[in-house]
Each structure stands twice: as structure tokens, then as C-alpha cells.
Chain A
Amino acid sequence: MKQVVVHPERCVGCMQCMVACAVAHSRSGQLYTALAERPRPRPRVHVGAGLYNEGFPNRCRHCDPAPCLLACLAGAIFRDAHTGTVLIDPDKCINCASCAMACPYGVIRFHEDPVAPPGKTVAVKCDNCDQRVAQGLAPACTEACKSGALTYEEMDEAMRRKTAEVARSVSTGAETAAVPPALALLMAVKKAELSL
């Protein structure tokens, strides 16, 4: 089964995944109209900064067993038996933040949401774009990502590709570096700036 695979070394921090995610979870599904919606749709993938301000798309891993699911006081978090996606039922959620205390990745947010009862603050996180996937679409974040940091593919395939990349980069006379030289230069400068 295809899934969203994160390749952190490729994240350029543009946050386009966040925009695409928020739009995908809006009522209208269109950027320009989504901006006018209330509650304003919000992203479920969060681009954070690493130690030298490199981008990092942080999204729910849909862990198994899922600490958030085990910690949920109201039984609002459950796993979809078919897709394996860990989901939050906004009608059952009591906004107690026990899941935030349990999530080792810090990917759960609390706010009003287009799919929650109006005016109610609930826990919100990545739903793997299950609805888009059911329509034959890829998850919105992977569609938006143009640098290959978020891909939608078979895990085996991703692992194979990664192994090959690593093998290429450590073998002598490698034709392609894992990170293009000019980008590596930028990274080096940013690191140097921060280490002053």
C-alpha cells in the first residue's frame, strides 16, 4: 500500500505542504476561498526548523501502537481498520490535550476545524488525506512538495531508492551527490552563520 514517506534531507522549508494541507482540509478546497472561510482551515503537517534552521515537515506517523490513541480519555482516537490511519473523531474529542502529552512527535494541534462541530475546539492532526486517497488522489502535501521531501509511494520502493542513494554517495567517483553542491554550499553558510 502506498503511504506518505518523509525525506527530511530534501525539505527546503518552503511550507507549501502546509498551505496544500490546509486547503485540502477546508470546506471549499480552493486556496482563495479557503482563506475567507471561518474557521480558517489550518495545516496538519507542520514545517519546523532544525538546529540550523533546515526545514522539517513534521506529520503524524500513524504509530502502531499509537500513544495518542492509548492516552485518549474520551476514546475519540481510533485506527481505521482498512487503511491503518489513526484518526480523531471530532464529535467525541473533549479537547483535554492528553494526546499532546502522549505524542512523541508533537504533531497534534487544538483549534476549531471545518469538520468539527461549529465553535468547538478539538484535537486535529494528519488524516493521511484518506478522503482524497479514496478518490484516487495523492495526499495533498505530497502533491505540493516539489523537492521530493514528501513522497507518496510504496515503502519498499522508497527504501530501495534510499539504499541506492546512500550506496552511490559513499562509493568513490559518485556521479550524483545526495545534495547538489550549490545547495550544500548554502547549508554550509547557514551553519556557519549560526555557529558564530
Chain B
Amino acid sequence: MKRRTFLQGSLAASAAASLPRFAIAQPASVLKFIPGASLAILDPIANTSAPTRLHGFMVYDTLYGLDSNFAPQPQMAEGHEVSADGLDWTIKLRDGLFFHDGEPVRAKDVVASLNRWSKRDTFGKTLFSRTNELLAVDDKTVRFRLKRPFALLPAALGKVGSNIAVIMPERHASTDPSKAVTEVVGSGPFSFVAKDYSPGALIAYEKFKKYTPRSGGEVGFSSGPKNVHFDRVEWHVIPDGSTALAAIQSGEMDWWESPLPDFLPIVQGNPNMKIVPAGGQVMFLRLNHLYPPFNNPEIRRILLSCIDRKSIMQAVGGGGEWRDDIGLYLGSMKTDAGIKEAFRGRTDFDKIKSELAAAGYKGERMVMLVGSDTPRNLAASQVAESTFKKMGLNVDFQSLDWGTVSQRRASMEPPDKGGWACFFVGADSEYFLDPATNFLARANGREGWFGWPDSPRIEQLTEEWFNSTDVAAQKEIAAQIQLQAWKDVPYVPIGEVQAPGLARSNLQGFAPGFAKFWGVKRA
């Protein structure tokens, strides 16, 4: 190398080093978001995963939404009229509703969409079991003709836990609800950018310019004006927590949906970042009612009396916000009925062992499925295992990846043939509002959720709750369901943990609950 060439190279290198730091710059109209998990399935009717629901709320809209008190409010609906006998509900669509392909939203799209939704969603099935007919009166009006009054109709159409009653074009809504729609055409505030979609890496949305937000009101849980302040929202899937944190710290990303609780103390005091409100998550223990030991109600009740909810939630929630005093419901039907009597946190293990023996426990293997790649499930399982062993239960702690747990828990076989006895998992708090949304508190046997509890009394009370039109009466029934649940133990509610997000300080306008991309803007 000639000396002159060397000097030129050195000067160039020095000049490059003195350039301003340029890793931070990004266009102001793009919001970069790190989701908790990747979006694999694009149809919120065919799939109930959290990313699919989040995606659903971005690209689709619903007739009703829930406000911050979980009360249903018209969203796509202008409003509704109910006949004097409570059997005819006439819902008018508001003006200015368009699908992303430019077509107006018509009543026939609504009818087809709700029919499809009702084939997959539990609340939807309940509504349609009470429906004689759903028809499009004209392009902007739909009418439910019910068999009996059903005051929960707007709540069903505005539910925020999967499956949400999204409105699709008729051509999509008339397809098999068990087969996911792959073309995304909604009428929500964002349109899906199919050409940029890279599952597991990038999911992009653009502001839908023809979207007309509701006028007035406040941004609620899923209701209110959905004003969009970004031209484009990008979900960047970053599976590694440390990398995601670094991306927020460096300003390459704006918002992280679900940071690990361990990271929150690191960012406290950092002026460039802030913790933002997000939804809670309920941790629970599901028991298999088909086989020993938990096919025995007495053993289930003993377990309930011993479970150490505080220790489990301490392990799950760490230094974050959590509570261990929950019952079955967190919304308007919340009740304290029987909680203290049921959850005693007993530690008299010698007596417990003799009670278990008297109840008929013969040391049967208790297969505990543990999703060891999900930190909260793992923490809860590890703490509970210690209690179970002290109780004298023959715990078989099976550490698996969550995909395998998902498959194993569907097995109705006995434990020695791939079956199971219990597992811990969390679900978004929106699923625990009342008897309509809390699918875990249902006890309809093999028709129900994994674990298949069978309690005619709980089902009868739930049916009464659905039929009731009086809120005070509903609250009383909800308390009775809860008391019955402490006897039949369809599941064991452990506690609720808040799962805050993390964002750059210059973002504002966050609403509580799941991540909402309307209302959020850069300061």
C-alpha cells in the first residue's frame, strides 16, 4: 500500500467515526411495535390466539365495543331499538363504513359475519341458541328475532375476549369457520399490508384513509373514537427479550407489548422510556376431572384449601403488580362469595394426608404438564409442586414446550396413556369478566374446555344467569355460581398479574387493556 493511499483511508475512517450517531432516526409516521408473539393466523374467528385478536381489532371492526367499565357501547352500530317484548332487536349501521377494498359495509355482510362467528364462539353459540332469525332488513339495518329476551346481546357482539365478533365481507364470512381466511379485508382503522407480511418477522399495517371514527366519547376498552395518528404500524417480531429491550433502548423500536418483569426495574429512571398500561392476566390451575386423583370432588376441595396462592403469585409476578384474592369474575359480576372459606392456605400437611387418604387417594400418579418455555407457567408450577408434594400427592412434573402441552392437554386418555392431571396457564383478564366470558367456569363435561368438569348445578345456574334481565339478580346468581365452583372446583383461580408494556417516552395516548394503536401518538 502506498503511503498516500493509507493516509486517504485513515482520513476517511476518521471522518466516518465523527459522523453523528444515526441508529436512532426513523420516520415520524411509522410506529414500530414488538408484539408478545408472532402473528401466524390472520382470521380472528378461526383462531383465538392473542396476536390474532390484536390483529383482528386493527383491521376489523365490531358492532359494539366495550368502554373502560366493560359496558357495551355502539361501535359500527349507530344504535339499536328493542321491541316492547324484548324479542326484536333492530340494529342500524352508522354512516361512512367501508371495507378496505372500497366496498361499503352492508347489512348482509354483518349477517354472514355473525353467523360465522356464532359457530365458533361460546357466547355467540349462546346468543344464537336464543335466536330465531337474524336478517338484513335493508343495506344498513339488521334485525335479531329472539326466542326469548336476551339483554346480553350487545355484550356478546362487543366481547373483547376471543372470538371477537368481527365484521367481514360476505364472501369471506360465508366460508367454513374452521378454515382460516387468508385474505384480510376488514373495515377497521388499519388495513393489512399483505405484500410485506412475513410470518414470524414483520407484520405491517397502513392507516385506512376511508375509516370514519365514531364522533365523541372516549377511547374505551374497544369502544370510542379510533383516531389513528400514524401512517403505518409495523410489528417487528423479536423473540429474544434482551434484544427487544436493546431495540427499545436504542430507539429502533417504539413500543414493546410484553417485556419480561425482570426488565422493568432496568428501565425505571431512564428518561427515554416509560412503562405503559396493559391488560392483566389471570393465572389458574386446571384439573382433569376425568381420571384420578381429580375425578374425586373431595380431593379437589382439599387441594383448593391448601393451594398457596400468595407464594405462586409472588413467583409469577415478582416485583410487579399482582394480587391473589380473586374469585371467578373480575368485571361487573365480581363477588367475594366464599373466597376466604375456600382458599385457606392450609399447611397442616399430616392432617391433609390423612384427609386425602380418607377421601380415597391411593397415591395415583399426578401428571403435571409444565410449559417450561413460558416463564409464568413454569414459575407457578414449580412453587405449586412443592405444596403438592408436602400434601403427599404423587407429582409427576413433566417439563415440556408449550406446543407439546397444548397437544397433550387435549388428550382425554388416562395419564398412563399420554393423559394428564393438571396444568398451570394464564389467560387475559377479559376472559374473566362474568359468566358469559369465563369459559373456565363452565362445567359442561366433554363439550367444554380441557379438563372437562361436569357440574349440572353450575350449568343450570349459568343458564339462569343468561336468562336473567336484572343486574342485581345476575349478581346474586354469579355469587351462587362461585359458591358452587368452590364445591365442584372446575378450575383453581390463583391470581391476577398486571403485564405492562414498555415504550419510548415520546409516545402518548395509551389506553388500558390490550395494545390499541388508535389514540397513540408521538409527542
Q: Do A and B come from one complex?
A: no
A residues adjacent to B (C-beta < 8 A): none
B residues adjacent to A (C-beta < 8 A): none
